[in-house]
Amino acid sequence: MARAPVCPFSPPPALRGLQAQAPLAKVRLWDGRTAWLVTRQADQRALLGDPRISRDTERPGYPHASVAARERGTVGRTFIGMDDPEHTRLRRMVTGRFAIKRVEAQRPAIQRIVDGLIDRMLAGPKPVDLVQAFALPVPSLVICELLGVPYADHDFFQANSRVLVNRESSAEAAREANGKLLVYLDRLIAEKLADPADDLLSELATGHVKTGELSRREAAVMGVLLLLAGHETTANMIALGTLTLLEHPDQLAALRDADDPKLIAGAVEELLRYLSIIHSGLRRVALADIEIGQQTIRAGDGVVMAIDAGNRDEQAFADPERLDLQRDAGGHMAFGFGVHQCLGQPLARVELQVVYGTLYRRIPSLRLATDLEHVPFKHDGAIYGVYELPVTW
Amino acid sequence: MQVVVDKDVCLGAGNCVRTAPDVFDQDEEGFVELLDDNPPSELDEDLLLARRLCPARAITVNEA
């Protein structure tokens, strides 16, 4: 569905129409099949928390988002594409590094990364593309440190990640990009087995591969997921969030002057709600007949939860179209819901809190160096954002 | 209210720690730890929210 040209921050108007008139609607997918499109937040929450709903990307009725996503759901399948008990068994191997206290302990290191990149931007030429100079390097540096991936290889893994998250990539291109990343991660895991360091890949290698619980390939597939999920999402929230704030100068001013970390944390939640960058829907397949609303979802039916619409549902949030950094947006589902809810959310939160709490304060005159209509939005992306954001100060 | 957590199904998303930090904590591996199984009533609202937000349904609250 197309977004309205006048409002690049909002879900497509057709989605909002469905929300009002047919909150559970049968829609046709790119491959000709049909699936249920769910647009109300309460229905989404109920379905995502329902054990009769499957995330198994190998089930015949699974509604893949694109040919590239289908490819990743088979050759790159790991716990996010599995049901319990396999899902929980694998996911629990990597939860430790994302525990709140351990992520909080990284806050000073994240602050140093953010300050260092801002120093370099201020010392360099302007205008500058905020995506390349800041939005992408912040989460890339952070996830590389956490996983134990050399940041020097970022051109390689960012280029291949871009192919995997583009809805228009062919199956061959997706398979090739995934294959290259797998070879790369497999080599890294072999290195960590021989010479472990204090990072997640070493923990995975010595704690689970060495013991035979996990094959090297399974560990490599998990590594690809964590590397990709670790920067494609937060990078888009940084760039798109900044653009949103520049378009809402009164809100930006309040955030810039805020001294209370709680206010900044609240602003992060509201921007997550307002932008909910996963615009291709959370996808599931029904394992049994499920009655919901006035409808029955049949066993085998595909289900697509449009969380961008759910996060703008007026039954869940008062005046949902308004960006209000002071509101309590805590009930948003930008990280999904149910057993597959985002593993990296504590890390994403700290990164965004540091970024939004630092960037506009250190560069108070930050502004767009082009017109909004010339900003290239990721209309072809599985994750919404901007390809470039020329800024000056 | 009485709180019970099921560490075996916990997925370490940490919503409970953000919602009610005086009641819930995480161990080194990120799994839930209960700090107080019978917290004072002023935390009732936070407890119910933590239960609602838990993606693994690992939290039980007995409203006795």
What is the overall mean pLDDT for chain A? 93
Among candidates A88, A97, A341 on the partner chain, residue whose Cβ is nearest the Cβ of B13 = A341
Confidence of residue A5 (pLDDT cuts 50, 70, 90): low
What is the residue whose two structure tokens read 């602003």?
A267
> In angstroms, rounded to a whole number, what is the distance separating the alpha carbons of residues A178 and A236?
21
Chain A interface, mutation test: which of B8, B16, B22, B26, most A Cβ atoms within 10 Å? B26
> In angstroms, rounded to a whole number, what is the distance separating the alpha carbons of residues B9 and B41?
26
CA distance A364 to chain B (A): 30
Q: Structural domain boundaries of chain A?
A: 13-392
Q: Residue range A85-97: average pLDDT?
A: 92
> In angstroms, rounded to a whole number, what is the distance separating the alpha carbons of residues A33 and A5?
28
pLDDT (0 to 100) of residue A370? 96
Q: Residue range A180-205: average pLDDT?
A: 96
Whether the per-residue pLDDT at A7 is higher than 80: the answer is no
User: Do B55 and A96 make contact, defined as CB atoms within 8 angstroms?
Assistant: no
Among candidates B19, B31, B57 on the partner chain, residue whose Cβ is nearest the Cβ of A95 = B31
pLDDT (0 to 100) of residue A6? 59
pLDDT (0 to 100) of residue A76? 82
Stretch 3-42 of chain B: residues touching chain A, C-beta under 8 Å: 9, 11-15, 17-19, 25-31
CA distance A146 to chain B (A): 15
Q: Residue range A210-238: average pLDDT?
A: 93
CA distance A42 to chain B (A): 12
Domain A13-392 coded CATH 2.10.109.10:
no
Chain B interface, mutation test: which of A341, A342, A350, most B Cβ atoms within 10 Å? A341
Residue partners of A218: CB distance under 8 A and separation at least 6: A78, A90
Whether the per-residue pLDDT at B40 is higher than 90: the answer is yes
Among candidates B11, B17, B19 on the partner chain, residue whose Cβ is nearest the Cβ of A91 = B11
pLDDT (0 to 100) of residue A166? 84
User: Do A99 and B57 make contact, defined as CB atoms within 8 angstroms?
Assistant: no
Chain A interface, mutation test: which of B11, B23, B52, most A Cβ atoms within 10 Å? B11
Going by C-alpha positions, the residue among A309, A286, A276, A292 that lies closest to residue A385 is A276
For A170-200, give one letter per residue: b (16+ CB within 10 A) or e: eeebbbebbebbbebbbebbeebbeebeebb
Give the CA radius of gyration of chain B.
10
pLDDT tens sequence across A240-293: 999 999 999 999 999 999 889 999 999 999 999 999 999 889 999 999 999 998
Q: Where does B2-62 sit in CATH, by number?
A: 3.30.70.20
Whether the per-residue pLDDT at B55 is higher than 90: the answer is no
What does A253-272 look like in DSSP terms, one character per residue?
Answer: HHHHT---HHHHHHHHHHHH
pLDDT (0 to 100) of residue A373? 92
Strand partners, A129: A390
Among candidates B15, B25, B30 on the partner chain, residue whose Cβ is nearest the Cβ of A96 = B30
Instruction: Name the phi and psi angles at A233, rounded to 5.
Output: -85, -55
pLDDT tens sequence across A102-149: 999 999 999 999 999 999 999 999 999 999 999 999 999 999 999 999
Q: Residue range A139-167: average pLDDT?
A: 93
pLDDT (0 to 100) of residue B64? 63
Q: Structural domain boundaries of chain B?
A: 2-62
pLDDT (0 to 100) of residue A301? 97
pLDDT tens sequence across A325-358: 999 998 899 999 999 999 999 999 999 999 999 9
- Structural contact between residues A280 and A11, judged by C-beta atoms closer than 8 angstroms: no
A207: buried, middle or exposed (CB in 10 Å: 19+, 13-18, 0-12)?
A: middle
Cβ atoms within 10 Å of A28's Cβ, excluding its own: 10
Whether the per-residue pLDDT at B19 is higher than 70: the answer is yes
Percent of chain A scored above 70 by pLDDT? Answer: 99
Task: Check residues A68 and A192 and name the one with the higher pLDDT.
Answer: A192
User: Do B11 and A88 make contact, defined as CB atoms within 8 angstroms?
Assistant: yes
User: Do A98 and B31 make contact, defined as CB atoms within 8 angstroms?
Assistant: no
